[in-house]
Chains A and B, each alone.
Chain A
């Protein structure tokens, strides 16, 4: 398959991070590396994503591809962040290629955030006859690939409901071991449930202190019959001051 060849070719490239990662992303990495910050928080975040990935993905089927839709009740809950976190952790946990599929064609953002040179993406693929390998982008994270949303599309409904999207999902399942679908919010996008239905399961992102219980319940109802793998409580705040945490020898974070 052409896309598999592409993936293998790119993975062999030693200079991939220099060529694939865009200027914006590289600059952010440099800035954060230069600042003396609390590295333990990042370690905590990484550890959390490893746990989340292990809980929401089926690790008992190493050969069969699986997909998980990540969605939330409303905008701004951090779906994309969680999708990236799960994808990078899954790539490490499973050691296989993981694809992040951005499906919010009304608000495409991941290509910019990753700094990948993505002129084309999902919307372009579904609306024209371009090759799949031309829209799958490698990221700086090992074994993490990105299929960006592509050009902004005001009405992505017909594209989402097209057979081509269904076919695309089949093709991707044939190439990637794990697909993390960055899905629009369930309560604000009428297409979110349709997209999520293409996945094997749903992860609901809840933003701590922001998402209401009622909205989370409504989002689950909107998801319909999709198996819900669980909830990620995103952006929880440290509840214990650092000095108290050290004094009592307890963790500062939720669910430790």
Chain B
């Protein structure tokens, strides 16, 4: 089928297609306009280096900042059902049935993000159509994470202390050996030259300084652990503190551009597909005469001529085409 028969057919069937071309995009637009506004609530946590976490590892990367490590923790926990259920219970979301639990967990995970903002700050946000729900979920996540973090710290204090005590003993042995070595050397040493020019002495002294430094650092670690343990027990863990609590959002977040575009585009595509389908169906089932070629189906017929339809000429409020053709025939040809 050539392009002309298609265009001709479209001329005759266009009015049947128009409703689909108009109604569906309008419906899509109405859907977009009826999209409920969304609210975003955000809390901010401040993360510091942690002696305990450093020693027990906890999946942290030494190359990441504390904020990056903690935000990764939160993101991973949000993928676990146990964490989401704990948050749901903490903020009172329904968890009575399996379906309710699933809905609550979906509500918590969907629209939540934990992103490092600089080296120490973590932004935890949740976007929801219900501002109060967004606030509660964020505060729930923060509270649950902090509780789990504190529990981890408390649980691992003895492990960390053991590790550092062992390291301290090693450091102490090394320091004693260095002290013994330098003392033995000085006792045996003869000669008038200055110690500052004695390479052996300088090397032994360097060993003493290094082992002393290691020993002091390990001792400091142990002090830090004890301090952090005390702070954690009293709820004042300085390695993870709440900077800003999530508040009830007062202004709606702008609706996603994707949503604004996707629905009308989808509506238009569906409309076009439907229109094309209907058009193809009509074309296939319709055997009305539209062109002189269609008349060839009746043998022996002579085509006298074709008269254009004047009802499609601009001014639609005219009387019926009969009058126009009659008037045209009478020679009343209006001029522009």
Residues of A within 8 A of B (CB): 28-29, 31-33, 35-39, 41-46, 48-49, 51-52, 55-56, 78, 80-82, 84-85, 87-89, 92, 113-114, 139-141, 144, 203-204, 206, 208-214, 216-217, 220, 228-240, 253-255
B282 nearest CB across to chain A (Å): 11
Complex CA gap A139/B330 in Å reads: 9
With A208-B12, A231-B295, A233-B306: A140-B289 Cβ-Cβ less than 8 Å: no
Instruction: Find residues 294-336 in chain B having any chain A CB closer than 8 Å to their own CB.
Output: 294-295, 297-298, 300-315, 318-319, 321-336
Complex CA gap A41/B295 in Å reads: 24
Contact A49 B307 (CB under 8 A): yes
Give the nearest-CB partner of B298 in chain A.
Answer: A217
22 A-B interface contacts by CB (under 8 A): A28-B319, A38-B313, A41-B310, A46-B329, A48-B307, A49-B305, A52-B304, A84-B325, A84-B326, A85-B329, A87-B329, A114-B326, A203-B304, A209-B289, A213-B297, A229-B302, A232-B306, A233-B295, A233-B305, A234-B307, A235-B321, A255-B306
B223 within 8 A of A: no
Contact A32 B308 (CB under 8 A): no
Among A141, A214, A255, the residue within 8 A (CB) of B329 is A141
Complex CA gap A95/B309 in Å reads: 27
Contact A206 B313 (CB under 8 A): no
Contact B336 A254 (CB under 8 A): no
Complex CA gap A114/B291 in Å reads: 30
Complex CA gap A115/B313 in Å reads: 24
B224 nearest CB across to chain A (Å): 81
Contact A233 B307 (CB under 8 A): yes
Chain B neighbourhood of A212, CB < 8 A: 287-289
Chain B contact residues, majority secondary structure: mixed
With A32-B327, A78-B321, A81-B322: A43-B304 Cβ-Cβ less than 8 Å: no
Among B297, B300, B304, the residue within 8 A (CB) of A56 is B304
B189 within 8 A of A: no
B7 within 8 A of A: yes
B220 nearest CB across to chain A (Å): 85
Contact A208 B314 (CB under 8 A): no
Kindly state the interface size class of chain B when it binds its partner: 35 or more
B53 nearest CB across to chain A (Å): 73
Contact B329 A229 (CB under 8 A): no
B266 within 8 A of A: no
Contact A253 B306 (CB under 8 A): yes
Give the nearest-CB partner of B295 in chain A.
Answer: A231
B8 within 8 A of A: yes
With A213-B287, A236-B308: A85-B327 Cβ-Cβ less than 8 Å: no
B11 within 8 A of A: yes
Among B294, B312, B318, B336, the residue within 8 A (CB) of A213 is B294
Contact B334 A32 (CB under 8 A): yes
Contact A231 B302 (CB under 8 A): yes
Contact B334 A33 (CB under 8 A): yes
Complex CA gap A210/B331 in Å reads: 28
Complex CA gap A42/B318 in Å reads: 14
Complex CA gap A216/B303 in Å reads: 13
Complex CA gap A113/B287 in Å reads: 32
Give the nearest-CB partner of A234 in chain B.
Answer: B307
B244 nearest CB across to chain A (Å): 62
Among B297, B311, B323, B333, the residue within 8 A (CB) of A235 is B311
With A37-B315, A78-B322, A213-B298: A51-B328 Cβ-Cβ less than 8 Å: no
Contact A254 B291 (CB under 8 A): yes
B259 within 8 A of A: no
A217 nearest CB across to chain B (Å): 5
Among A45, A139, A228: residue with most chain B CB under 10 A: A45
Contact B7 A239 (CB under 8 A): yes
Complex CA gap A140/B336 in Å reads: 23
B258 within 8 A of A: no
B230 within 8 A of A: no
Instruction: Find residues 218-236 in chain B having any chain A CB closer than 8 Å to their own CB.
Output: none
Among B7, B309, B321, B329, the residue within 8 A (CB) of A208 is B309
Among A81, A217, A240, the residue within 8 A (CB) of B326 is A81
Chain B neighbourhood of A37, CB < 8 A: 313-315, 334, 336
Contact B309 A32 (CB under 8 A): no
Complex CA gap A92/B336 in Å reads: 24
Among A42, A56, A84, A235, the residue within 8 A (CB) of B334 is A42
B188 within 8 A of A: no
Contact B329 A88 (CB under 8 A): yes
Complex CA gap A22/B292 in Å reads: 37
Contact A84 B329 (CB under 8 A): yes
Contact B292 A255 (CB under 8 A): yes
With A37-B314, A229-B304, A233-B292: A216-B334 Cβ-Cβ less than 8 Å: no
Contact B306 A254 (CB under 8 A): yes
A134 nearest CB across to chain B (Å): 24
Complex CA gap A152/B134 in Å reads: 78
Give the nearest-CB partner of A49 in chain B.
Answer: B329
With A42-B328, A85-B329, A239-B11: A232-B305 Cβ-Cβ less than 8 Å: yes
Complex CA gap A220/B295 in Å reads: 13
A200 nearest CB across to chain B (Å): 15
